Amino acid sequence: MTLKTGRLLILCLVLLVSIAIGAGLFIRNYTGTANAATFTYRMVPADGGVIQSKQPELQVQLTLPGETLASYQLYLDGQAIAAAYQPELGLITGRPPQELQPGRHNLSLTFVLTGYQPVEISSSFTIEDKRSEYQSPGAGTEQSSLLAAGLNVLNQYRTALALPPVTEQSLLTRSAQAHADYLARNRLLGHYEDKSQPGFTGATVKERAELAGYYQPVGEGLSTAAVDGGGGVDSLMDAPYHRLAHINPNFTEVGMGFTLRPDCTVINYGAPQGLTDGRIVVYPYPGQTDAKIGWKAVETPNPLAAYGQEETYVGYPISLSVHDSATRELQVLSASLATAGGQPVPFFLVDASKESAWKQHVFLIPRTVLVPGMAYTARIESLRLMADGSTATLAREWTFATLPNLEAASASLGQMSNGADFVSVKLKNGELADLAYTVKQGGQIWQTYQDGRYLRYNPGQPLTGTFTLELTSSLFPGPVVYEFEMTGNEQNRQLMLR
């Protein structure tokens, strides 16, 4: 029987560090009595809102046409709390000094406009206690080994880029595993949860992290690639939007959640010191000698949507990015990609002009697969627009080389619609349109893969023992042969590539 390979669903990283103005918020105009000042305001949480976080960020946004804020004080349940004012945003923010009890709470702000009497505005909100809905994230050796493998793979990338390593944060692991369980339980994919569905622990990654007790800036990535050996982490590095979280120097804490059959990896990233590190990060990195050559554009959102390319095989994405809150946008002035001999390489340019939200990156995505064993030089010059209105010129030129030989990175077991096993192979070279491979045992063909389709022979009882795996691609000379062991019963199948 045949199985058409489905789209690898890699879903959008959600970086929640901007101001969130949610449904149910209100705007009111206040008018004084004599020489009155008119202003509008928004309060978060919304008046009458119901939230899950026990230590939520509290926000009051003031619009003061022609007026100056002379002083202010934020109160929670009648007690003064520390707050900060960002005049360029008109935003006053604070956070409870400790977790609040479930139930109703009152938020108020007393402030003075220059030349006017004090004004008080207020709202109330309710905290629900949802923590009992969490499932245990780390029970069992398998879950622990998956987490260790995922951390190892992620830190290999960060070490090569001279970035600080990430460490596991148990609160983020808790929120990531809860979301992975929710997705598996409801047969869903995505970053958002529906309160009406079982296993709900927060609509957004920010809410889920805060429910677990983590209150710093967070992000999320998820992949349906095979979880064995950090496969989900690898697939997120290949997808350019999701790569940005992996290589964000501010994200030094992570949590990971996993499910098997369906395979899913959920990563929650945390920035304990905020988004202050504004270093420039490029990938593939300077001097790299084993860069991948190909990628299939199956990321959601699709970085090539502006070019009408969907699920297209292209060259491996090249990125330049910054990750600090002080940078607003990178505007490309010039960009080029060339071989070591100076031959220009055509590419799709994905920059701020193609984006509606994220604008701190530049992608050069080659229009065709790169050449194995070839050195390339990338050059990007852009204008760095800062949040304070200043600008600076940013320019980087670097060289990397692609992996010369066809090599398997990993092999994993999947399931056909009838429950039969099939072997899926991931290459160190990336994703190639003409990859073909054959799985044999004792000289007999058990499975073939060609043109994106699997064909399995002799479907029946799960097979065990030693198998050979033969890989071919027109981009490389001759086949490459591996051996692997398949063990276990129907409930615990394992594959080990030699």
Distance, C-alpha 40 to centroid of its chain: 35
Would the pLDDT of 127 be above 90?
Answer: no
**For 102-106, 166-170, 234-238, 378-382, which range has the lowest pLDDT when averaged over its residues?**
102-106
Would the pLDDT of 132 be above 50?
Answer: no
Specify the pLDDT at position 6.
38
Looking at the fold, whether 227 and 289 belong to one and the same domain comes out as no
Work out the average pLDDT over 79-87. 93
- CATH number for the domain that contains residue 445: 2.60.40
CA distance to 4, 424, 463, 483, per residue, from 440 (Å): 20, 14, 11, 10
Decide which of 341, 369, 402 is a domain's last residue. 402
- CATH number for the domain that contains residue 70: 2.60.40.3780
Which residue has tokens 């923590």? 131
Question: Mean pLDDT, the chain, as a whole number?
Answer: 87
Specify the pLDDT at position 8.
40
Specify the pLDDT at position 460.
58
Looking at the fold, whether 416 and 483 belong to one and the same domain comes out as yes
Distance, C-alpha 395 to centroid of its chain: 26
Inside any domain, residue 212 = yes
Please count the structural domains in the chain.
Answer: 4
Specify the pLDDT at position 486.
84
Would the pLDDT of 194 be above 80?
Answer: yes
- CATH number for the domain that contains residue 252: 3.40.33.10
Specify the pLDDT at position 461.
60
Work out the average pLDDT over 158-175. 97
Inside any domain, residue 301 = yes
Rounded Cα–Cα distance for residues 45 and 42 (Å): 9
Would the pLDDT of 135 be above 70?
Answer: no
Would the pLDDT of 19 be above 70?
Answer: no
Helix, strand, coil distribution of the chain in percent, nearest 5? 15, 40, 45
Inside any domain, residue 7 = no
Phi then psi for 18, rounded to 5 degrees?
Answer: -90, 175
Phi then psi for 195, rounded to 5 degrees?
Answer: -60, -25
Work out the average pLDDT over 293-308. 96
Apex 164 CA angle, 162 and 167, nearest 5: 140
| Sheet bearing 28-31, strands edge to edge | 28-31, 38-44, 58-63, 91-94, 83-86
Looking at the fold, whether 173 and 247 belong to one and the same domain comes out as yes
**For 45-59, 152-166, 296-310, 317-331, which range has the lowest pLDDT when averaged over its residues?**
45-59
Inside any domain, residue 3 = no
Specify the pLDDT at position 29.
36
Would the pLDDT of 49 be above 90?
Answer: no
Looking at the fold, whether 261 and 186 belong to one and the same domain comes out as yes
Specify the pLDDT at position 373.
98
Looking at the fold, whether 103 and 176 belong to one and the same domain comes out as no
Would the pLDDT of 490 be above 70?
Answer: no
Would the pLDDT of 264 be above 60?
Answer: yes
Looking at the fold, whether 486 and 429 belong to one and the same domain comes out as yes
Three-class DSSP category at 10:
strand
Three-class DSSP category at 126:
strand
Looking at the fold, whether 145 and 266 belong to one and the same domain comes out as yes
Inside any domain, residue 67 = yes
Would the pLDDT of 10 be above 70?
Answer: no
Rounded Cα–Cα distance for residues 211 and 130 (Å): 8
pLDDT tens string 373-395: 999 999 999 999 999 999 999 99
Work out the average pLDDT over 33-54. 74
- CATH number for the domain that contains residue 338: 2.60.40.1220
pLDDT tens string 303-341: 999 999 999 999 999 999 999 999 999 999 999 999 999
pLDDT tens string 221-230: 999 888 877 8
Decide which of 402, 417, 438 is a domain's last residue. 402
One DSSP character per residue, 248-299 reads: -TT--EEEEEEETTTTEEEEEEE-TT-S-----EEESPTT-S-B--EEE--E
CB-based contacts of 157-162 (< 8 A; 24+ apart in sequence): 157/237, 157/246, 157/247, 158/246, 158/247, 160/285, 160/288, 161/247, 161/281, 161/283, 161/285
**For 36-40, 118-122, 234-238, 323-327, which range has the lowest pLDDT when averaged over its residues?**
36-40
Looking at the fold, whether 425 and 323 belong to one and the same domain comes out as no
- 396-430 residues labelled b (16+ CB within 10 A) or e (exposed): eebebbbbeebebebbbbbeeeeebbbbbbbbbbb
Q: What residues does 466 pair with on adjacent strands?
A: 485
Inside any domain, residue 133 = no
- 10 Å CB burial of residue 144 (0-12, 13-18, 19+) is exposed
Q: Which of 6-20, 194-208, 215-229, 267-281 has the highest mean pLDDT?
A: 267-281
Provide the pLDDT confidence category of residue 90 given band limits of 50, 70 and 90: confident
Q: Give the structural domain span for 361.
A: 281-402
Selected residue with higher pLDDT from 241 and 457? 241
Looking at the fold, whether 372 and 341 belong to one and the same domain comes out as yes
Specify the pLDDT at position 391.
98
Decide which of 372, 402, 432 is a domain's last residue. 402
Inside any domain, residue 292 = yes
Would the pLDDT of 441 be above 60?
Answer: yes
**For 69-73, 123-127, 192-196, 378-382, which range has the lowest pLDDT when averaged over its residues?**
123-127
Q: Which of 78, 76, 112, 79 minimizes the C-alpha distance to 93?
A: 76
Would the pLDDT of 458 be above 80?
Answer: no
Say if CB 408 and CB 469 are below 8 A apart. yes
Q: How many angstroms separate the most distant Cα atoms in the chain?
A: 95
Work out the average pLDDT over 357-375. 97
Specify the pLDDT at position 134.
41
Looking at the fold, whether 459 and 369 belong to one and the same domain comes out as no
Inside any domain, residue 173 = yes
Which residue has tokens 């598996």? 184
Length of the chain: 498
Looking at the fold, whether 40 and 122 belong to one and the same domain comes out as yes
Looking at the fold, whether 331 and 377 belong to one and the same domain comes out as yes
Work out the average pLDDT over 369-373. 98
Q: Which of 204, 213, 200 minimizes the C-alpha distance to 173?
A: 213
Would the pLDDT of 26 be above 50?
Answer: no
Three-class DSSP category at 444:
strand
Work out the average pLDDT over 3-21. 37
Q: What residues does 329 pair with on adjacent strands?
A: 385
Specify the pLDDT at position 459.
54
